[in-house]
A and B are shown apart, each in its own frame.
Chain A
């Protein structure tokens, strides 16, 4: 299993541009999450999904959108990029409610810079 994969690894955007961060998992997990991590900080939840067709906002959803058309894929869309969205973005997945240990599996991250 590849686990959770994310593309691209790095990206530089200009202010006002848009892009989609891709996330795919091959563990047949129902739950998927998008986090952002600013330097020296913890992870903040942007959006999450409990299954195909179901998404909900996390702590910091403004400026982002998501969709979940399949179990495997959970893309994150940035519209009108702003410098405040410069961050490292992690996608994660877990089995229903994370199983007995509540373990989330993280992708390698996308480093995004908005100039």
Chain B
């Protein structure tokens, strides 16, 4: 079957750096996505890794190691508005783009 593990909660202070890890077990792995969701809002796309290595988009970076079935989301220069839930999601090959989501990590940024 498929499973994704990520921490349920993380707390950090404004201006700091935080890393949210995600380990996965799935057949036919194609790529790893990250989505952000503010309380009461809809998920929004942050990043996608299909190959090993680091992808950088502004203050956010995402890393993937296919051999370790592991990825992480790195958030730098944390701002209060980054307080949200962050979901990793696996894209399975041949599944018409279907995503399997983790349970999410709730990030609280303190002043």
> Which residues in A have some Cβ–Cβ distance to B below 8 Å?
31, 33, 35, 40-45, 48, 50, 56, 58-59, 90, 94, 96-98, 101-109
Contacts and interface: CB of A to CB of B under 8 A. Distances in A.
A9 to B, nearest CB: 11
Given A101-B48, A102-B31, A102-B48, A41 B104 contact: yes
B44 interface: yes
Given A98-B91, A102-B33, A102-B48, A43 B43 contact: yes
Interface stretch (B10-18, B67-75, B76-84, B92-100): B92-100
Given A90-B42, A101-B45, A101-B48, A42 B102 contact: yes
Contact of B96 (A42, A50, A90, A103): A50
Interface size class of B (residues with CB under 8 A): 20 to 34
A58 B44 CA distance: 21
A103 B86 CA distance: 15
B42 A109 contact: yes
Contacts of A101: 45, 47-48
Contacts of A106: 42-44
Nearest to A35: B101
B31 A97 contact: no
B66 interface: no
Contacts, number: 62
A107 B103 contact: no
B42 A107 contact: yes
Nearest to B88: A42
Residue of A33, A42, A56, A59 most packed against chain B (CB within 10 A): A42
Interface in B20-77: 31, 33, 41-45, 47-48, 50
Contacts of A31: 96-97
A76 B4 CA distance: 27
- In order of increasing CB-CB distance, the 3 nearest A-B pairs are A42-B101, A106-B42, A98-B97
Contacts of B43: 43, 90, 104, 106
Contact of B99 (A40, A45, A96, A107): A45
